[in-house]
């Protein structure tokens, strides 16, 4: 598959990449957009829509073709998340977690046995989830209380996870627990846990401000036995699995935010050209034009940052700072652009009959999950200060 060289124009897409992004957007516009409001109100993504995402091939983008996936690059996952989030960020984050967190972690850290058992399922029809956060470990991600005790040919897990995206739909969960609390982060281990195993249950679903159709739930582990073969990576090296996967996941959130902002800007441009006040279209006022121009500039800058980080990742070059930058800037940009869209709609922007209030609500989470803005600033500062 053709790709633009990492040293060339960062927003320049190869013909294949442009075609891929456009085709995913056309799918989202045709098959997701008619259901956006109902999904938001009902706080769920219909299974038939998830099945269509699998048929489209966007749920297993980096899974090798031999295992049923698309065999494409990380950059294609970023393009898919961007295109879908332009219509509905709730569906965008479902695709994002599946690709940039779950599949990514299995590809990098899974044994041949784990890859053989789980990648074909994730590419075909099985949704995955990533469970790291707990009540006492949010930004301090490694202050885990969930325990994993060695027992026989496996481990027994006890504890509780919070804020798990895709929990309602998922059948496969990557779960982080500590095998040795005294060892701190060096005691953390990652496990692959399947829905339905004794001692594991999906708990309360959160009632959220935004991305409401995306499920976010607690997970409960009570004497949950996991076979040794389901350890992901090495025992005690779960912190490396988490850190490296989340660095890539932040690029995915950046893609979600630029897609979301593009959708809001699309609506704002269309509305201001149609809406008349004082005898002319609102878009005819210079004050409005300048606000739209600034929003478009901020969006393009965010897209540059996201694409740059994704290109670096695919090129095998360091991207820690760039991932933090793209996540920080794109999430804050998305809040500004969606807020502007609400303002330009006036009173109509404040009611649910029009699409921009939902995108405004959806944007807020970008500054919180997969590392808050303060954590991104801390990461960037450490990198530039050496």
Q: What is the pLDDT of residue 10?
A: 55
- Count CA atoms closer than 13 A to 257's CA, side-chain side: 37
- Count CA atoms closer than 13 A to 100's CA, side-chain side: 33
Domains of the chain, start order: 15-127 (1.10.540.10), 129-236 (2.40.110.10), 239-385 (1.20.140.10)
Give the integer Cα–Cα distance in Å for 109 and 162: 23
Q: What is the pLDDT of residue 219?
A: 98
Q: What is the mean pLDDT of residues 350-368?
A: 98
Q: What is the mean pLDDT of residues 349-371?
A: 97
Q: What is the pLDDT of residue 103?
A: 98
Identify each DSSP E strand in the chain by its residue range: 127-131, 147-151, 154-165, 170-178, 188-194, 200-205, 216-227, 231-232, 276-277, 280-281
Catalytic residues: 370
Q: Convert the pLDDT of each residue in 31-43 to its tens digit.
A: 999 999 999 999 9
Give the integer Cα–Cα distance in Å for 166 and 147: 23
Q: Convert the pLDDT of each residue in 183-242 to its tens digit.
A: 999 999 999 999 999 999 999 999 999 999 999 999 999 999 999 999 999 999 999 999
CA 175 to chain centre: 17
Q: What global pTM score does this model have?
A: 0.96
- pLDDT band of residue 8 (cuts 50, 70, 90) is very low
- pLDDT band of residue 11 (cuts 50, 70, 90) is low
User: Tokens representing 2?
Assistant: 């053709």
């Amino acid at each position: 598959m053709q790709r633009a060289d990492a040293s060339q124009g960062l927003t320049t897409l190869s013909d294949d990449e442009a075609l891929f992004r456009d085709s995913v957007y056309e799918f989202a516009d045709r098959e997701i957009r008619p259901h956006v409001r109902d999904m938001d109100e009902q706080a769920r993504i219909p299974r038939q829509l998830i099945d269509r995402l699998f048929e489209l091939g966007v749920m297993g983008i980096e899974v090798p073709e031999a295992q049923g996936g698309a065999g494409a690059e990380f950059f294609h996952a970023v393009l898919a998340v961007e295109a879908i989030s332009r219509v509905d960020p709730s569906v965008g984050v479902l695709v994002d977690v599946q690709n940039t967190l779950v599949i990514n972690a299995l590809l990098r850290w899974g044994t041949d046995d784990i890859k053989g058992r789980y990648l074909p399922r994730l590419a075909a029809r099985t949704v995955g989830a990533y469970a790291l956060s707990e009540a006492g470990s949010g930004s301090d991600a490694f202050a885990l209380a969930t325990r994993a005790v060695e027992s026989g040919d496996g481990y027994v897990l006890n504890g509780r996870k919070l804020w798990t995206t895709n929990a309602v739909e998922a059948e496969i969960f990557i779960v982080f627990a500590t095998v040795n609390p005294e060892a701190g982060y060096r005691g953390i281990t990652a496990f692959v846990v399947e829905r339905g195993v004794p001692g594991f249950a999906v708990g309360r679903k959160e009632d959220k401000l935004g991305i409401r159709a995306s499920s976010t739930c607690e997970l409960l582990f009570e004497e949950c036995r996991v076979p040794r073969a389901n350890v992901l990576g090495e025992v005690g090296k779960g912190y490396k699995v988490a850190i490296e996967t989340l660095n890539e996941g932040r690029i995915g959130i950046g893609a979600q935010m630029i897609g979301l902002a593009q959708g809001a800007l699309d609506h704002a441009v269309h509305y201001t050209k149609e809406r008349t006040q004082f005898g002319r279209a609102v878009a005819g006022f210079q004050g409005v034009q300048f606000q739209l121009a600034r929003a478009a500039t901020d969006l393009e800058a965010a897209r540059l940052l996201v694409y740059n980080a994704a290109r670096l990742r695919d090129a095998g070059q360091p991207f820690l700072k760039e991932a933090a930058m793209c996540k920080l800037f794109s999430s804050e940009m998305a809040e500004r652009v969606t807020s502007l869209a609400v303002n330009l709609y006036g009173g109509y922007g404040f009611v649910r009959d029009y699409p921009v209030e939902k995108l405004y609500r959806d944007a807020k989470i970008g500054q919180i999950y997969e590392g808050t803005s303060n954590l991104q600033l801390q990461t960037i500062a450490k990198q530039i200060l050496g």
